[in-house]
Structure 1
Amino acid sequence: MPQTFNTPADYVDAAREMADTGHPTLARLLAEEAADRTPDPDTAARILAEFPGHSLRQED
């Protein structure tokens, strides 16, 4: 069954799965998306702290 992404928790779950399977870059990108969708800044910071690294997003 395909995974759906409706909440920040969905992104965090996917990020953990990517981290557990050896894909830290994808994990970080998913964590960044989760943090962006999280209204509480403290929670967003905790999400990013769980998946350390520099942002690899390319923003225009």
Structure 2
Amino acid sequence: MPHSFDGPSDYVEAAREMAATGRPTLARLLAEEAADRTPDTDRAARILDEFPGRTLRREV
């Protein structure tokens, strides 16, 4: 069933699924998106801490 991404928690849930299925890079990207959409900076930091790794994003 396709995911509906309506908020940060949807991205975190998808990130957890990706981590559980051995896709840590995709999990990290989803976690970064969740963190970006989270207004609470402390919560955003906790999200990123749950999915360690370096970012693959390129800053422009």
Aligned residues: 60
Structure 1: 5+ residue stretches without partners: none
TM-score, normalized by length of structure 1?
A: 0.95
> Could you report, residue by residue, the CA deviation over 1:18-43 in whole angstroms, capped at 9, with x for unpaired residues?
00000000000000000000000000
Q: Give the ranges of 4+ consecutive aligned residues of structure 1 lying more than 3 Å apart after TM superposition.
A: none
Trace 1:6-17 onto structure 2 (pairs within 5 A).
Answer: 6-17=6-17
TM-score, normalized by length of structure 2?
A: 0.95
User: Residue in 2 aligned with 1:18?
Assistant: 18
